[in-house]
Amino acid sequence: MDMNEIKEIFFQECEEQLAELESGLLKMNDGDRDPETVNAVFRAVHSIKGGAGAFGLDDLVAFAHVFETTLDCVRSNKLEPTQDVLKVMLKSADVLADLTNAARDGGSVDESRSRGLVKELEALANGELPSPSAEPPAPKAAAKAAPAAPAPAAKPTDDSGFQPIPFSFDDFGDEDGAETGLPAYEITFKPRHELYSKGNDATLLLRDLSRLGEMTIYCNMDELPGLEELDPEAAYFFWNITIKTDKGEDAIRTVFEFAEWDCDLTVKPVEEASAGVTGNEELPMVPVPFDLSILDETDAAEAVSAARSEDTAAAVAAAETASNVTQMAAAAARVEKKESAAAAAAAANAAAQNNAAGAGQTIRVDLDRVDRLINLVGELVINQAMLSQSVIENDTTGTSSINMGLEELQQLTREIQDSVMAIRAQPVKPVFQRMSRIVREIADMTGKSIRLITEGENTEVDKTVIDKLAEPLTHMIRNAVDHGIETPEKRAAAGKNTEGTVRLTAKHRSGRILIELADDGAGINREKVRQKAIDNDLIPADANLSDEEIDNLIFLPGFSTADKISDISGRGVGMDVVKRSIQALGGRINITSKPGHGSVFTMSLPLTLAVLDGMVVTVAGQTLVVPLTAIVETLQPEAAAIHSFGANHRLISIRNSFCPLVDVGRILNFRATQANPVEGVALLVESEGGGQRALMVDAIQGQRQVVIKSLEANYTHVPGIAAATILGDGRVALILDVDAVVGASRGHSLKAEMSLAAVG
Amino acid sequence: MKKKVLTVDDSRTIRNMLLVTLNNAGFDTIQAEDGVEGLEVLEESNPDVIVTDINMPRLDGFGFIEGVRRNEKYRAIPILVLTTESDAEKKNRARQAGATGWIVKPFDPAKLIDAIERVTA
């Protein structure tokens, strides 16, 4: 793995963290005060900062840092997360996302935006907080508060004072530091027993120190009591060290960096100290030269480490005071809410395991591999169908074990297929979350106050569908906020809440996913829409259209309701493009509007673009597949039920109502004249608009799961045909586009783009 | 014998960087994603040194360090805290929990290896 790959992972992770951040902030906006929510939000920003720091992404780090500081204030209850505060934070989350994208794809973020937010964030953090710099830096304070009391070297032994000679005597090979010109330092190092309980080791520190230069060490055992008084967990030894090094005092202090708080340490340049350790004979102690070479001998090292753990064992045991136990219990309780402190410690491990299992273990898989698997399963389905067919053709007994095995195989294939599809299924949540940002942005730009409510975010759909959903949805949300919802003044005048509501809903309905976007705005101005369509020659001036048909005019190419093309909606994308991208997904879009009360866009999309359950039918000698989800029922028409209507139209009466009869073979130009309905089968289908049609086919072959192969990708778009598939016998069959056929039956040509096809 | 390092960090990015850095420096590396997993993994891996983050879901660095120190077997194992936090109060808390040392991110591979060398025999 190289840096670029890690960077790639970092940006993937950023995306997840940003989603987490936004959803957390939105939850807080809805009044969620769960500390875990706040923590998760904090961690998201913190993680981004950490990774960004590692890659030297300074802009990102700088902004994340300010953001994090303010979030920390919320986390520590110094700042109340009011709606105003959260507004700033949500905007900051947007900027953080932009900065992340800029870091990944190049480009930059409008500095005035981030600078303004930095100021706001800082104001929030400072407004209710004492300045952080007021806190004393604890490590230094601790070091100063505990001066090295017993420092034996402090006693002067040479009254004359020693001045280092500022030139080199290298030629003499003299080892005296002062004479070689290297600065010398005197160090006293007196560990307290806590040092050992934190996994530090005096011998290791001394070893490290010895690497800086030539060193003389004396171990002072002066404080070692008699055996009877010996406390095995106390620290009695301390060390006097002289070192000659050109690395400087900072390097020496760095060695003791981790030990600083748990020892008494003095470091003095020799010229300041009035004595060297060599004069220690006069001190009332027994200096023992310390042999660092033991560290090079494994046995000795092990002995030391064994001694250390023995030493510290007791020390740590002692350190486990009541307060410590409480702290640990609290930590455990966070893992799983258990009241009993005693049980908590024991439960912590078990809870950990439970949580690990409950969180759902995941792996990341390359999408290509999943695609390959899906393709293979598709082939398996086709193969299984082929096998079934040849068994049926050859099997005369009808109850052979082959049949049973085949049935089982069919079931297994089905299960494998469902499982493989489930791999690709993902909740629509990320797309929905992105929409809340769009709403914020447009609301800001238009000076409107909008609330986005999302429902059914966990509804799962194939990843390919999700990916293609974002763009049309973004456009529709923009429209809803920009055109749909009125200004606060207008809303107030109309007696509505000044805050507009946009509701985004996802749900499953009969094997499809239904996405609804509803706003409580003014609804479609039908008169204006109609006039506009006439002006643009989209409809004749005398056209007699229902309300619903007028509403659906906005899907016509080149149609825009905005009087003036605004920055927000007028990006050269009309609703016709939205409609086309939805249709390209095998979906349908429809609008209903109520003047004064708002509009509802409904999108119905397939759950997957890979397979569908279909009814295999014969039409004029051709085999076609009709998606099962479209079929309400099938019936054998009787002569008495068929009624002629005009020259070319026929109706079928079903349970006292009339339904137009559509000859599929005729509409697809498979034959020149209409077939006799009594000789065929009628499939009662429902189009997205709700209207029913009876599709006439010659015969039904059966129901089958088919693998969808794109016709566009392999051939070209064929009006009335949604896609193709391969049947069990290896033949290609076309999959009927029911809505297109229903639309065509209304007199719209299949050859042109069927702009009004979705009109109910 | 190679020294074994256990790293505990919830960020995939940092975990990967640690893995590469430590493996390049000749360490064996075991990884965990949070304090809870860290304590679990600890049992099986018996590392020579631990490098842990502070801000983590489920069980944070403080809780993790306390958990390690509470176990007789791991009272003396060096624990380095690797975090973006540099504030003294948090440092102090980590120390009280039993951390051996504190390294502030951004991630400097040389410094990290240096610190690990410094606390392991």
A462 touches A610 (CB < 8 A): yes
The reported pLDDT for the residue numbered A558 is 67
Residue A177 lies in a domain: no
CATH code of the domain containing A213: 3.30.70
Average pLDDT, integer, range A716-722: 84
SS3 track for chain B: CCCEEEEECCCHHHHHHHHHHHHHCCCEEEEECCHHHHHHHHHHHCCCEEEECCCCCCCCHHHHHHHHHHCHHHCCCCEEEEECCCCHHHHHHHHHHCCCEEEECCCCHHHHHHHHHHHCC
Residues A208-241 pLDDT 10s: 777 777 888 887 777 777 777 777 777 777 788 8
Residue A162 lies in a domain: no
- Enter the DSSP assignment of A731: -
For residue A217, the SS3 value is: strand
Q: Are residues A628 and A546 in the same domain?
A: no
Residues 6+ apart with CB under 8 A from A281: none
Residues A485-505 pLDDT 10s: 888 888 888 888 888 899 999
With a pLDDT cut of 70, the percent of chain B lying above it is: 95
Which ranges of A395-487 would DSSP assign to H, the alpha helix? 401-424, 429-446, 463-479
- Is there a contact between B91 and A320 if contact means CB atoms under 8 Å apart? no
Note down the domain range covering A75.
3-126
Q: Are residues A595 and A665 in the same domain?
A: no
Query: Is residue A319's pLDDT more than 50?
Result: no
- Topology of domain B2-118, per CATH? Rossmann fold (3.40.50)
- Give A137's pLDDT tier (boundaries 50, 70, 90): very low
Q: Are residues A589 and A448 in the same domain?
A: yes
- Residue B22 Cα, gap to closest chain A Cα (Å): 13
Sign of CA dihedral A244, A250, A252, A255: negative
- Residue A138 Cα, gap to closest chain B Cα (Å): 6
Q: Residue holding tokens 């393709």?
A: A375
Q: Are residues A602 and A641 in the same domain?
A: no
Q: Are residues A572 and A433 in the same domain?
A: yes
The reported pLDDT for the residue numbered A317 is 43
SS3 track for A679-714: HCEEEEEECCCCCEEEEEECEEEEEEEEECECHHHH
Q: Are residues A616 and A597 in the same domain?
A: no
Q: Within 13 Å of residue A2, how many CA atoms lie on the same side as its CB?
A: 1
Residue A46 lies in a domain: yes
Query: Is residue B57's pLDDT more than 70?
Result: yes
Query: Is residue A507's pLDDT more than 60?
Result: yes
The reported pLDDT for the residue numbered A146 is 40
CA gap A488, A562 in Å, rounded: 18
The reported pLDDT for the residue numbered A212 is 78
Residue A15 lies in a domain: yes
Q: Are residues A597 and A617 in the same domain?
A: no
Average pLDDT, integer, range A60-81: 86
Interface probe for A, chosen from B5, B11, B13 (most Cβ of A below 10 Å), is B13
Sign of CA dihedral A230, A232, A238, A244: positive
Tokens of residue A689, six digits:
């608009």
Average pLDDT, integer, range A289-298: 52
Residue A689 lies in a domain: yes
- Give A275's pLDDT tier (boundaries 50, 70, 90): very low
Last residue of some domain: A218, A245, A269?
A269
B3 touches chain A (CB under 8 A): no
B90 touches chain A (CB under 8 A): no
**Maximum Cα–Cα distance for chain B, whole Å?**
38
Residue A169 lies in a domain: no
**Percent helix, strand and coil across chain A, each to the nearest 5:** 50, 20, 30
**Which residues of chain A neighbour B36 with C-beta distances below 8 Å?**
335, 348, 351-352, 355-356
Angle at A127 between CA A122 and CA A130, to 5 degrees: 100
Among A648, A654, A652, residue whose Cα is nearest residue A745: A648
Query: Is residue A663's pLDDT more than 60?
Result: yes
* Pairing of the two strands A184-191 and B28-32: unpaired
Average pLDDT, integer, range A409-433: 85
Q: What's the total number of domains in chain A?
A: 4
Q: Are residues A585 and A437 in the same domain?
A: yes
Contact pairs from chain A to chain B, CB under 8 Å: 167
**Which residues of chain A neighbour B105 with C-beta distances below 8 Å?**
50, 53-54
Q: Are residues A444 and A584 in the same domain?
A: yes
Last residue of some domain: A236, A269, A302?
A269
Give me the interface pTM, i.e. the ipTM: 0.81
Q: For the full predicted model, state whether its pTM sits above 0.90.
A: no
Among B66, B21, B37, B58, residue whose Cα is nearest residue A43: B58
CA gap A315, A317 in Å, rounded: 5
The reported pLDDT for the residue numbered A281 is 42
B89 touches chain A (CB under 8 A): yes
Residue A418 lies in a domain: no
For chain A, the average pLDDT equals 74
Query: How is chain B split into domains, by residue range?
Result: 2-118
Q: Are residues A621 and A597 in the same domain?
A: no
Phi/psi for A687 (5° steps) reads -90, 170
Tokens of residue A308, six digits:
């250390």
Last residue of some domain: A105, A126, A147?
A126
Q: Are residues A574 and A482 in the same domain?
A: yes
Residue A620 lies in a domain: yes
Q: Are residues A704 and A563 in the same domain?
A: no
**B window 47-76, beta carbon within 8 A of A:** 53, 55-60, 62-63, 66-67, 69-70, 72, 75-76
C-alpha distances out from residue A472 to A276, A431, A466, A517, Å: 81, 11, 11, 11
